[in-house]
């Protein structure tokens, strides 16, 4: 059933969620380098919002908690400056690994691992986080173009 674009989220007569106007979307990045423990998955502490159309991203917890049930396209780029031999980006849903990105093994500087996944969220209790694994010690922060980035957008209602 197609999504109806009106002005509010509501439930149609068939019980289908009708999504309104601007569907939830966010884009955040890490503004300064983040020191992490080597060889474990660590949450990226995203602290700078480029936009958050429905106030669903919390920079205190680095969690996206959508309040509209549906399917969300989630994207995460994990960047490193130097000192990493292995880099892996991962998307977590409700504190559990949901999807793992490319594993990059190299001694070159400026490594990146990328993950993109379509994730269903129930609109009330589900939340999404970005975690990274490195054999180095730093997640890259700074200017939006070179920093770790995390974004998502609703693609259709439940």
Total tally of structural domains belonging to the chain: 1
For the domain that residue 124 is a member of, what is the CATH number?
2.60.120.40
User: What rounded mean pLDDT belongs to the chain?
Assistant: 87
Model-level pTM? 0.85
For residue 58, give its domain range. Answer: 10-157
Name the band, by pLDDT with cuts 50, 70 and 90, for residue 6. Answer: very low
Q: Quick check: is 19 in a domain?
A: yes
Q: Quick check: is 4 in a domain?
A: no
Q: Quick check: is 2 in a domain?
A: no
Q: Quick check: is 52 in a domain?
A: yes
Mean pLDDT throughout 34-51?
A: 95
pLDDT tens digits for range 79-89: 987 666 889 99
Q: Quick check: is 117 in a domain?
A: yes
What local confidence, expressed as pLDDT, does residue 11 receive?
54
What local confidence, expressed as pLDDT, does residue 8 receive?
43
Q: Quick check: is 33 in a domain?
A: yes
User: How far apart are alpha carbons 142 and 128 in whole angstroms?
Assistant: 23
Residue 64 burial class via C-beta count within 10 angstroms: exposed 0-12, middle 13-18, buried 19 and up: buried
What CA dihedral angle connects 133, 136, 139 and 142, to 10 degrees?
A: -160
What local confidence, expressed as pLDDT, does residue 158 receive?
86
């Amino acid at each position: 059933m197609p999504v109806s674009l009106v002005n509010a989220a509501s439930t149609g007569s068939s019980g289908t969620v009708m999504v309104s106007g601007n569907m939830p979307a966010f884009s955040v990045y890490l503004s300064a380098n983040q020191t992490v423990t080597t060889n474990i998955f660590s949450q990226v502490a995203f602290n700078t919002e480029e936009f958050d159309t429905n106030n669903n991203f919390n920079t205190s917890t680095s969690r996206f908690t959508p309040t509209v049930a549906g399917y969300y396209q989630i994207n995460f780029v994990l960047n490193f400056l130097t000192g990493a031999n292995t880099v892996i980006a991962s998307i977590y849903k409700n504190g559990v690994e949901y999807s793992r990105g490319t594993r990059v093994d190299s001694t070159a500087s400026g490594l990146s691992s990328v993950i993109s996944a379509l994730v269903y969220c129930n609109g009330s209790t589900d939340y999404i986080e970005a975690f990274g694994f490195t054999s180095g010690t730093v997640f890259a922060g700074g200017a939006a173009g070179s920093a770790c980035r995390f974004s998502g957008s609703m693609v259709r209602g439940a």
